[in-house]
Amino acid sequence: MSSSLKLADPSELAGKWQATLSAKDDSPESRALQDKPSNVCVIDFQQTQTLGEGASCLSAWLDGKTANGWFPEPDGIAITGNEGSKILFLSRQRDGAYKATLKSALVITLVRQTQ
């Protein structure tokens, strides 16, 4: 059987994304009330598949791992560390929205910023 998942071109994913860290059962309303710099990051996914501005904010959530790169996967986006190995996988929820659950049970939601 062939897969219907299409691998996105990196140019389709490059740009600014907002990442939000929340508890699994947080509603969007409760997240809006608690938005503060520590649980919201704007991350620049660069054309070169490296992370620009916001990478250190994302890294702070990753249990001592440093996020510095990314690449598309058929069903999401992989975040890579210093050696280029995958340290986080964000699964595609819909166009422009991805989600990952950390070992701590906290959830990272990634949403494309409007241009």
Render pLDDT for 67-114 as a digit per residue (tens, 0 to 9).
999 999 999 999 999 988 999 999 999 999 999 999 988 999 999 997
In terms of Cβ atoms closer than 10 Å to its own Cβ (0-12, 13-18, 19+), residue 112 is: middle
3-state per-residue secondary structure call for 28-48: HHHHHHHCCHHHEEEEEECCC
Whole-angstrom distance, CA of residue 69 vs CA of residue 52 = 9
Among residues 56, 79, 57, 54, the alpha carbon closest in space to that of 69 is found at: 79
The CATH architecture of the domain made up of 10-26+33-112 is Beta Barrel (2.40)
Phi, psi of 61 (to 5 degrees): -90, -10
pTM of the model as a whole: 0.85
Render pLDDT for 35-58 as a digit per residue (tens, 0 to 9).
445 789 999 999 999 999 999 999
Strand partners for 41: 19
- Domain range annotation of the chain: 10-26+33-112
